[in-house]
Structure 1
Amino acid sequence: MKHRGRHRRRRRGRALRATLAGTALALTAAATLISASQATVADAPGALRTVASDEGGRLPLAEHRVPGAWLDRLASAMGRPVGVGAVLEDADRPLRRAADCPAAERRSLPVEPAATRAYCFAGSDTRDWRAGAVTTSGDADDDGRWGSDRVILSGWSRGAAEGGSLDGPAPGQGLARVAFVDANDPARLRYTWALLAVPVDGGRDYRGLVSPLSGMVWYQDKLLVTTRERDRDALFVYDMDRIQRATVTSDAVGRVPGGWAAHGSRYVLPAVASYTLPGGDGAPRPATVSLDRSTSPDSLVASEWVPADGDRRTRLWRYALSRDPDRAGLLTTGSSGKADPVEAYETKTTDVRGVLAHRSGWYLDRAAGDPGGHGTLWRQDTEGARAAECGTDETRHCWSGRSASLSYWQETGEVWSQSGRMLFALPLASIDRALR
C-alpha cells in the first residue's frame, strides 16, 4: 500500500499551475439566451437545517473488503498490475478545445460565472454513454499531482438517458468507465479508457460495474464511486495501484478466449472494497460525492438525489477520511466496521446533481428544468442561500444544464465539472464573486 506522502513532488516550488485565460471563454450568443420557461426566478431554498442522527441524519456505511487472495489470483492471471503513469502513456485520444467543439455542446456551459477552460469529447467516442462524475489529482494529493502528473478522471455510464433520474440502468444493461486524462499540458489534453469492474468467482474473472457514475472521488490511492447496483450498495472502492491491462479488444467483459476483455477499454480497475447501506424501504442513498480539504481530517461529502417533484428535503452528509496509513483512501470506521456521518443537513434544493463543500459553504448544482436549459448553482449554509443571476430578467438559471459532479482542485483554485460531452473548469473565487 502506498502512502500519501510518497506521491508528492520533492520540490513543490517547481509545480506548474494551470494558466487561467485572461478572459472567460467566449460563449456563443445562443448560450446567453435563456428560455421563457426559465425566466421566472426560482424561490431560494433558504438555509441548511442541521439534522440529528435520530431525525434521519444517520447513514452508516458498512465497509467490505474484497479478499486479497481474489485480487492476487486475478493479477496472477492477467499480469502484474500497473499504475496511473502507465495508463497515461497510452492516452492518445485528444480532447478538443472549446473553440473547436460543436456550438450545441458549448451552449451547455455556464453563463455566469463563465468557464475559463473547456474541452469536449468526440461524439463518436461517447455515443450511448452519459457523463456523470469528475475528480482530479487535486483530490488525490494536496500538491495537485499524482507523482509528477496532473490528471483528470472523467466518469461515464452506459444505459441511462441523458438528464434522466439517477436510478441507473437495469442490471445487465449498463457499464461504467473512466477516462484517464493527461492534463500536464492544458493546451493538449489526451485520454484513454479504463473499465470499472467487480471481481467474481474467487478472482478467476470479473464483471462490469452496472451502475451510473454520478459521483466520484480520487483520494490518496483509492477511487470511490457512487453506485446504485443493488439495493444496499452505496460506494465501490478501486485501488489506483491495481490497474490491469485488457489483452483482447472485444465488446465482451471479463475472461474470453485468448485473454481478457474490457468492452473496448485498454484497462480494467477491479474493485477492492465497497460500502453498503442499511436495508429497508426509503433508506437514503448518496448520489453524488466530493472531497473537502478544508476540514481536519479531510472529509467526503455526499448528497442524495430527490426529484424536483419530491415531497421531502434533500439530505447532505459528511464523512471523515481515515488518517491511518494502513487505511489510505478509506473512510474512518468504528469498532463495528461502519462509517458514521460526522455532520448531516437538509436542504429544500431538489434534483441535486453535484455537491461541493468548502469551509462553511455547500455548493449544490441543481439540474435544468427542461432539456437544453440551464441549471442553478446554489451556495448554502446555515444562514441562507445565494445563486448567481444572469440575463435581462435576472434569472438564476445561469449554471450548466447538464452538469454532473463538482470537484475542487485546491492547488489551482479551480472547480471542475462536466456538461454532456463538455469538460470545464472555472475558479472557485469567480463562483463566490458571482454569488455575492
Structure 2
Amino acid sequence: MRFLTLAAFLLACGPSSETDEAAPLVESQQALTEGAPLTTHDASCLKLQDQNTWSTYPSYMTPVGPALGLSTVLQDLNRAGPMLTASTRPPAVGYKGGFRWNDGDMATTEWIPQALTAGTSGSANVAIVSWHYAPTTAPEKGVRISVADISDMAASAVSYRHVLLVRPTSSGNFTTIPEHGGGLAWFGNSLYMADTSDGMRVFDLTQIREVDTSTTCETQIGHVGSVWCAYGYKYVLPQVSAYVVPSSITSPCRPKFSFLGKDTRGSTDVVLSGEYCNNTGTSCPYDGSTPGLGGRLYRWPMDSATSRLKTVSGLVSPERAYVMNEPNVQGVAPIMTSTATTSYWLSSTRYGGALFKVSTSASRTAYLSGSSQWARMPEGMHATGSGTNLWTVTEGVSGVTSPSLGGRVVFFAAQASLD
C-alpha cells in the first residue's frame, strides 16, 4: 500500500475559479446557496487506490462453476414488469415510456431500488437497477441487481431477473456485499457500484456464476456442502476489484460515494461520483455553515480500452470536482445534448422528488414532483449517448404500490423536452 505517497495531498480542499485550475487551495468553506451554479472544487487532496484483485477474485470463483456472460442471464429472465400506461405512469415533463416491477417487487419492504445504469449486450438494450436489502435483522443479503431487457418498450411488459452481488473470500467461497448500492455505472464489461464510505467496487459482467436454488440455499450464502448458495438466487455477480480512499485521507477531503453516473462526452470517459447530504440528519464533510448543500460531484477518468480507472502508481486522481449547491441528491447524468462537461442532470428527493438541470454558468432549472413535472422519490439516472433519452428509477414512496401515485417505476423522458 502506497499511503506514504499521499502525504503531499492531505491539504484542505476548497472552491476555485472555473478558469483557474491552478488557483491556491482555500482552507475556509464558503457560504453555499441552494440552486446556485456548480462551484468548481479543488480536489487535489483526494486519491483512490486500486485494490488490484483483478486476477485473485476471479480465480477464487473458478470452483463455483464456469463463468457466464450477461447474455446467459438475458436468455433466462423470469419476471415480467408491466408497461406503464397513460393512467398508470407518473407525471414527468417529456415522458416517453416506462415499466413497473411485478406485484411482489412493487410491494416488498425487504428490498428498495436505488441506482440505474444502462447499456447493450449483443443486440439487446439492457437496464441494470440495484436494490439494497432493508431489514435490520440477520442475515444480511446485501445488494442485488435487476437485469432488464428494455429492447422493445412497445411490448406489454419488460422481462427481468434479479442477480445477487457477492464478494469472493477464498477459493470456492464468497459472501454478500453489505452496502447501500446507491450508484451504478456500466462501462464495457465492468459494472461500478458506489461503496458509501470507501469508494467504488467493480464487478465483471463476464464472471456471472450459476448457483443452487434448492430449499437448502434459501437461507445460506457461499459454499454449503457440495453446492454453492446465494439465498435462493440462481445467479451471482462477483466483485473483481475496488478503488478505495486510503485511510490516511480524512474529512473534509474524504468524501462519501452515494451515487454514480457515466459521462462519455469528453475525450476521456469518466465515472461520476457524488455525495448525498441533507439539512437534517445526513450532513456532508463540506457543508460548513449551510448543511445539506455541500455535496460534491467528482469526475474519475476511465481507460476505455480496459474499462478500468486511469491509475498512476496504483492511484487515481479526480479529473475535476464541483460543489453541487443542491440537497438530497440521489443520482447524476450528463446533459448529452451539450458537449460541455460542466452541465448535468441531478436527481433529488428534495421537495418529495425533483430533477435539477445544473451547470457552472447558470442557476438550476427545476422540475418538481409537487408541480407534476417529475416523479416522486427519484434515484439513479442514465442518459443515452445519443442525447435522446434520460432514464431514471424511483425507490417508491413507502407503502405506495400505485405507479402513478409514487410506486416504484423505471421510465425515460425526452432530453429535448427538458432542455
1:389 deviation in Å? 5.5
What does residue 333 of structure 2 align with? Answer: 356
What does residue 312 of structure 2 align with? Answer: 334
- TM-score if structure 2 supplies the norm length? 0.77
What does residue 48 of structure 2 align with? Answer: 61
Quick one: distance in 1 between partners of 2:357 and 2:367? Answer: 13
Residues 112 and 79 of structure 1: CA distance in aligned 2, closer, same or farther (over 3 Å):
closer
Quick one: distance in 2 between partners of 1:412 and 1:88? Answer: 26
Residues 389 and 210 of structure 1: CA distance in aligned 2, closer, same or farther (over 3 Å):
closer
Quick one: distance in 2 between partners of 1:159 and 1:344? Answer: 31
Quick one: distance in 1 between partners of 2:325 and 2:56? Answer: 46
Aligned sequence identity (%)? 22
1:294 deviation in Å? 0.7
Instruction: Say whether 1:121 aligns with 2:107.
Output: no
1:408 deviation in Å? 0.9
Quick one: distance in 1 between partners of 2:43 and 2:201? Answer: 24
What does residue 93 of structure 1 align with? Answer: 79
What does residue 205 of structure 1 align with? Answer: 173
User: What does the per-residue CA deviation read over 1:7-51, in whole Å, with 9 as the maximum and x for residues that have no partner?
Assistant: xxxxxxxxxxxxxxxxxxxxxxxxxxxxxxxxxxxx851111111
What does residue 263 of structure 1 align with? Answer: 231
User: What does the per-residue CA deviation read over 1:282-318, in whole Å, with 9 as the maximum and x for residues that have no partner?
Assistant: 5212211111111111111111111134425111111
Residues 176 and 48 of structure 1: CA distance in aligned 2, closer, same or farther (over 3 Å):
same
Quick one: distance in 2 between partners of 1:185 and 1:46? Answer: 39
What does residue 42 of structure 2 align with? Answer: 52
What does residue 324 of structure 2 align with? Answer: 347
Letter in 2 for 1:416: W
Matches within 5 A, 1:28-427: 45-53=35-43, 58-66=45-53, 68-75=55-62, 77-99=63-85, 106=89, 109=90, 111-125=91-105, 127=108, 128-137=110-119, 145-159=120-134, 173-186=140-153, 187=155, 188-200=157-169, 202-228=170-196, 231=197, 233-249=198-214, 250-251=217-218, 252-279=220-247, 280-281=250-251, 283-309=254-280, 310=283, 311=291, 313-323=294-304, 325=305, 328-335=306-313, 337-358=314-335, 359=340, 360-369=342-351, 374-388=352-366, 398-411=373-386, 413-419=388-394, 420=396, 421-427=408-414
User: What does the per-residue CA deviation read over 1:224-268, in whole Å, with 9 as the maximum and x for residues that have no partner?
Assistant: 00123xx4x211100111110112333222112341111222110
1:400 deviation in Å? 2.2
1:411 deviation in Å? 4.0
1:277 deviation in Å? 1.1
Quick one: distance in 1 between partners of 2:378 and 2:84? Answer: 16
User: What does the per-residue CA deviation read over 1:38-73, in whole Å, with 9 as the maximum and x for residues that have no partner?
Assistant: xxxxx851111111235xxx4311111226244224
Quick one: distance in 1 between partners of 2:134 and 2:58? Answer: 28
Question: Which SS does the other structure have where 1:410 is aligned?
Answer: coil
Question: Which SS does the other structure have where 1:199 is aligned?
Answer: strand
Question: Which SS does the other structure have where 2:95 is aligned?
Answer: coil
Residues 290 and 70 of structure 1: CA distance in aligned 2, closer, same or farther (over 3 Å):
closer
Quick one: distance in 2 between partners of 1:382 and 1:412? Answer: 20
User: What does the per-residue CA deviation read over 1:194-226, in whole Å, with 9 as the maximum and x for residues that have no partner?
Assistant: 1100001x2331001111111101101100001
Structure 2, gaps ≥5 residues long: 1-32, 284-290, 397-407
Quick one: distance in 1 between partners of 2:35 and 2:368? Answer: 18
Higher helix proportion (structure 1 or 2): 1
Quick one: distance in 1 between partners of 2:82 and 2:229? Answer: 28
1:172 deviation in Å? 5.7
Pairs aligned (count) = 350
1:192 deviation in Å? 1.1
Quick one: distance in 2 between partners of 1:346 and 1:170? Answer: 36
User: What does the per-residue CA deviation read over 1:164-190, in whole Å, with 9 as the maximum and x for residues that have no partner?
Assistant: xxxxx7996341011111222221420
User: What does the per-residue CA deviation read over 1:72-118, in whole Å, with 9 as the maximum and x for residues that have no partner?
Assistant: 2422x2211110111111112111111399x5xx4xx3x34142111
Residues 218 and 171 of structure 1: CA distance in aligned 2, closer, same or farther (over 3 Å):
farther
- Kept in 2, the 8 Å contact 1:314–1:350? The answer is yes
- Kept in 1, the 8 Å contact 2:64–2:172? The answer is no
Question: Which SS does the other structure have where 2:124 is aligned?
Answer: coil
Residues 286 and 399 of structure 1: CA distance in aligned 2, closer, same or farther (over 3 Å):
same
- Kept in 1, the 8 Å contact 2:391–2:413? The answer is yes
Residues 115 and 72 of structure 1: CA distance in aligned 2, closer, same or farther (over 3 Å):
same
Letter in 2 for 1:190: S
Letter in 1 for 2:177: L
Residues 131 and 71 of structure 1: CA distance in aligned 2, closer, same or farther (over 3 Å):
same
1:367 deviation in Å? 0.6
Question: Which SS does the other structure have where 1:95 is aligned?
Answer: strand
Higher strand proportion (structure 1 or 2): 2
1:150 deviation in Å? 1.4
Quick one: distance in 1 between partners of 2:329 and 2:360? Answer: 18
